[in-house]
A and B are shown apart, each in its own frame.
Chain A
C-alpha cells in the first residue's frame, strides 16, 4: 500500500510551477466528472460527481480530498498522471490541450478513462473494464497488469483435478491464451473434483468440455486444445508456444517430462500435486532448481499410489490449484514473491500449511553443474511405467 500512499501524498503536494505556469488563476468553477466503473467504489458508486477547480490539477486535488484514494488510482508513484489513464475535458484528450494545467469552465465535463491511453498493447474494452474491475482497482494490477494478463500464454498440463481450478481461475482472470493438454475422456468418477466438467459431459473429451466451460465463463479468452498425450516427441512443440507451464499431471512419467522440457526450454513451471489429504506446490524458475533437485528419481511402480488407487479429497484440488493459479498471476504481474526454492505442504487433516526449503542441487543430472540429461529421454523407461494411454482410462483418471 506504500505505492498508493506515496501517490496520494504526491498528489496532495501543491504544484509549484514545475509543470509550467497555471493558465487560469481565476476562481474555481464546478465541473461534472465522469467516474469509470473501476473507481466508482471510491465515490459511493456514482457515475458522475461534481468537483471544483480552476484547472484540471485543482479538480483532481479536489476529487482526492472529497474521495480519498482517488489520486492513487490516477497518479503513478511519482505523482504524475499515470500513463494508462486517459483524461478528457469535453471529450478532448488533455494531452492535446494543456495537460493538467488545462483551464476549466463551469459545467465542463471531465472524464477519467483507464486503459484507453498509453497507446501500445492491448486496449481494454468497456466490457473488460467492468469484468476486471476488481483487478483494475488494485494498484498492483491496474490496467497495465490486466493487459499483461490478457497478453499472457499459459499451458495447463492435465484438465483434471488440479487443471480444472487452475484453468478456470486463469480464464476468469483473463489470461488471454490458455492451452490445455489432455487426451482423456470425462468419466463419472472425475466429477467428484474436476470442476471443468459436468454430468452431461461424461463421455466427451476433457479438453472439449473444458473449453466450453472456460469460454462460458469468459468469452474474451482463447483456449487452445492439445488433445494428445504429452510425450518426448511433442513436448517441445506444444510447450514452446507458452510463457508459463502449469503442472497438473497425474503420473510421474509426465511430471519428469514436463520438468525436463521446461528446464530445456527455459520456461517457468508452476508445479502442484495431490494425494489423499496431502498437497504440495512449488514454482521452478529457470536456473533455480527443478523437480529432479527435489525428487531425483521416481518411486518404483507401486510404491506410491495414484489418486485412482489411494483416493483424493475433491476439495483439495481447489486449494492447491488455486495456489498454482495465484502463482501464475503473480509471475505474469511480476508482483510479490513466487514460491521458488520453497515447497508448500498442505495437510488437510491437520489443516496446516508449511513450507520447507528446497534448492538447486549442484549434482542434479538436469540442472546441476555437470548435467547428463541434455535432451528429453524415454520417461516410460525412466519411471518403469508407461505413460497413461487413452484406452487405459482407469490409469488416466486423475
Chain B
C-alpha cells in the first residue's frame, strides 16, 4: 500500500511507453521505494507493471531505471529508497536504426 506521506517523485518515460500512462511523457507517483512508486502507477494505469517486470518478478533486463541519472541496478534495485522530488527515468532498449 502506498502511504499518503510517501515521497512524491517524477517518472519520465520514452515515447514508446507513453501509451501506458495515458499519453503522458511524465507523471507523478508516490512511493518510498522504486517498487512502491511502480505499484502506485499501476493503480492508475493498469498494465504498466507488466512492462517493467518479467514473469519471475524481477525488473525486465531490457528496461533500465535511472534514479537521478544513476542506474538502480547499481544501488538497491527496485528497493532503492526515494525521496521527494526524485526523478526516475525508465528507458527500454531501442533497436531502431
Contact = CB atoms under 8 A, between A and B. Distances in A.
A249 interface: yes
Interface stretch (B1-9, B33-41, B59-67, B78-86): B59-67
Interface of A: 158, 160-163, 247-252, 255, 272-280, 294-299, 303-307, 310, 312, 343, 345, 347, 349-350, 354-359, 361, 398
A247 B71 CA distance: 23
Contacts, number: 102
Given A299-B62, A349-B15, 13 more contacts: A247-B97, A251-B95, A273-B95, A275-B15, A276-B14, A278-B16, A297-B61, A298-B62, A298-B93, A307-B96, A354-B69, A356-B69, A357-B70
Contact of A304 (B69, B74, B93): B93
A303 B62 contact: yes
Contact of B94 (A158, A274, A349, A359): A274
Contact of B96 (A250, A298, A303, A357): A250
A252 B97 contact: no
Contact of A345 (B25, B60, B61, B91): B91
A229 to B, nearest CB: 14
A310 B66 CA distance: 24
Given A250-B96, A304-B92, A355 B69 contact: yes
Contacts of A310: 16
28 contacts: A161-B97, A163-B97, A247-B97, A248-B97, A249-B95, A250-B96, A251-B95, A252-B95, A255-B95, A272-B97, A275-B96, A276-B15, A278-B16, A279-B94, A296-B62, A298-B95, A299-B92, A303-B60, A303-B62, A304-B16, A304-B92, A304-B94, A343-B91, A356-B71, A357-B70, A359-B74, A398-B96, A398-B97
